[in-house]
Amino acid sequence: MTVILDKCFGGKQGAVNLAILAILLLVIFPLWLDLFRLGLIGKYVTYAFVAVSLVLLWGNGGILSLGQGMFFGLGGYCMAMFLKLEASDPISTKIQTTPGIPDFMDWNQITEIPWFWQPFKSFPLTVFFVLAVPTFLAFIIGYAMFKRRVGGVYFAIITQAIALILSILIVGQQGYTGGVNGITDLKTLLGWDIRTDSAKYVLYFINASLLIGVIILSNYVLSSKFGMLLLAMRDKEERVRFSGYDVSSFKIFIFCYAAMISAIGGAMFTLQIGFMSPSFVGIVPSIEMVIFAAVGGRMSLIGAVYGALLVNFGKTMFSENFPELWLFLMGGLFIAVVMFFPDGLAGVYRDHAKNFNLADWLIASYTKWFKKDANMLGDKV
Amino acid sequence: MSNTDFILAIEDLTVSFDGFKAVDSLSMYIDKNELRVVIGPNGAGKTTVLYLICGKTKSTEGSIKFKNIEMTTLSEHEIVRAGVGRKFQTPSIYENLTVYQNLEVSYPVGRSVWGSLTFKRTPELSEQVRKIAAEVLLTEHLDLEAALLSHGQKQWLEIGMLLMQDPELLMLDEPVAGMSAKERDQTAELLNQICQNRSVLVIEHDMEFVKKIAHKVTVLHQGKILAEGSMEKVQANEKVIEVYLGH
């Protein structure tokens, strides 16, 4: 019990923090918010996947990727391609020149579904590609960069450049990708209408549960020797290398893992919002995601989720009223966090909640009210 | 080149940086359980030799054989896995981890990605960490964040991290730089103790310290060996006095 608690939840305090997050996402938000606002939270939660990936990659591994948006986008595009093919059946597209193909292909004088769209007719293959395509791209980039010992600022710039290239490629290949509009008008998933209210609730819960699952898995990664090596590499890469570790393979792995969880967020975005476009692939979204992680706390998996929720909530509130000021505010927020709260919200919580240990308080109240054995949460954590 | 009984055999080793030969057809042999000290004036190529052995710098010519295995073609982590440990000049430890974790990370099990993800902390590991911590005088500080150690303790911790790997050849680059007199004595004692069952190669400037530890001394000058032998013999060598030891 204690071992599982330590390995998957980050100890007693970590388990309580995760439980609070789970209750907030799975109980409080759905009961409290209307479907429109809940849909917004669902969208922010998909960004939280990327923020969590950056905690692993940047906070723990010291590898700053300014191109996580491309993995988010690729995961989203893979899912969108499947949904688009399903939405483009010959009956609903009978007014097109070539019925049975996606509308934007028809507008671009393409008469048959291109070869790389073919696998997306199958849902199992689509799920596989959602995870595999971004991971494979991350592997190629990681292999090329880390084997040559490219790191730090150079790596950040290169990832940013690749994200830009990818977004330009998607915009340019309008007939194959839907261009700047992206892939829109998605309707059903295996015959199940994803636009109904009930579907929105179901997808929201799947999304939030997946995020909790990803956090638990990531806690396991960080609590293993691998996690300790990540910190060690961030601190003294040469020392790790001269302790007999192949540093590049560790970096490639964590970069691929981060890409994969970003892609899950992207796929869930497509399902919930009903479209995917290049505006989630390029430089700006990638940098925004770094800001979410920084605001939440780049060392804290759970902090990153709150960072994504809060910054996006602020963005929505602000951009509803002062759309032109938002970007300046966000830039200012980023500078302020880096200067005054380098560990983000999680750091503020840690420093100011020191005297008030929530885990102990909850266990104490639990014992008091239910007279149960408080040790069931593990006494040696 | 033929096989030898030496733990480390360097023959005709040359490295040139844009035509400048930092190490020039150097040959050097280290015995099993020997503690060798390399001395020499600044720019003599001491650190470069160490870099060549551990694979950080690639040689232009020549061969380095460790236990008769050619090292010049291996990558850094492969050389470490073959049994060569290397300490950096400035203490190179993981400041954000505790002393215990620093030693644990250096334990030579779970060195692959998958191995590290599935690595389980065993009683042997904990026993080994405590044993090494006692050797490098850090038993009381096991749970302390490594950043809070004194300079000398950091140097010892790094030596401890190398001992965790149980290397057959240990290379130390100026291990007592910046240490107090007492710490120097303790370090000398430590080195004499650890070379009981492994070979040690030390680069050092402090002659008092060298006298305390060296079995044999090699003097380098302009990438070449100037003299080699016992401390007394080297100190009496006129060429050595002229270029290095002074008057």
Read off the pLDDT of residues B143-176 as tens digits, 9 standing for 90 and up: 999 999 999 999 999 999 999 999 999 999 988 8
**Partner B contacted by A217 (CB < 8 A):** no
**Structure confidence at residue A358 as a pLDDT band (50, 70, 90):** low
Residues B191-201: pLDDT tens digits?
A: 988 888 899 99
pLDDT of residue A213: 95
Domains, chain B, in order of start with CATH, read 8-245 (3.40.50.300)
Which residues of chain A are within 8 Å of residue B77 when distances are taken between CB atoms?
241-242, 244-247
Give A341: exposed, middle or buried? Use CB within 10 Å, 0-12, 13-18, 19+.
middle
Contact A266, A71 (CB under 8 A): yes
**Structure confidence at residue A360 as a pLDDT band (50, 70, 90):** low
**Structure confidence at residue B178 as a pLDDT band (50, 70, 90):** confident
Please tell me which of A219-228, A338-347, A351-360 the model is most confident about, judged by mean pLDDT. A219-228
Is there a contact between A224 and B116 if contact means CB atoms under 8 Å apart?
A: yes
Is there a contact between B54 and A247 if contact means CB atoms under 8 Å apart?
A: no
The domain segmentation of chain A, as residue ranges, is 2-377
The mean per-residue pLDDT over the stretch A177-204 comes to 88
Nearest CB to A238: which of B92, B113, B161? B92
pLDDT of residue A2: 65
Percentage of residues in chain A having pLDDT higher than 90: 47
End-to-end CA distance of chain B: 41
Whole-angstrom Cα distance, residue A75 to residue A276?
10
Element (H, E) at B142: none
* B96, pLDDT greater than 80: yes
Paired with B224 in beta bridges are B221
pLDDT of residue A361: 67
* B59, pLDDT greater than 60: yes
Q: Which of B94, B98, B109, B111 to mutate to test the interface with A (most CBs of A within 10 A)?
A: B94
pLDDT of residue A381: 38
Which residues of chain B are within 8 Å of residue A245 when distances are taken between CB atoms?
77, 111
The mean per-residue pLDDT over the stretch A290-307 comes to 90
Is ipTM > 0.85 here?
Answer: yes
Is there a contact between B117 and A246 if contact means CB atoms under 8 Å apart?
A: no
CATH 1.10.3470 fits domain A2-377? yes
pLDDT of residue B81: 92
Higher-pLDDT residue of B201, B19: B201
Q: How does strand B20-30 pair with strand B8-17?
A: antiparallel
Is there a contact between A236 and B106 if contact means CB atoms under 8 Å apart?
A: no
The mean per-residue pLDDT over the stretch B13-23 comes to 88
**Partner B contacted by A229 (CB < 8 A):** yes
pLDDT of residue A362: 67
Contact B24, B224 (CB under 8 A): yes
Whole-angstrom Cα distance, residue A74 to residue A210?
18
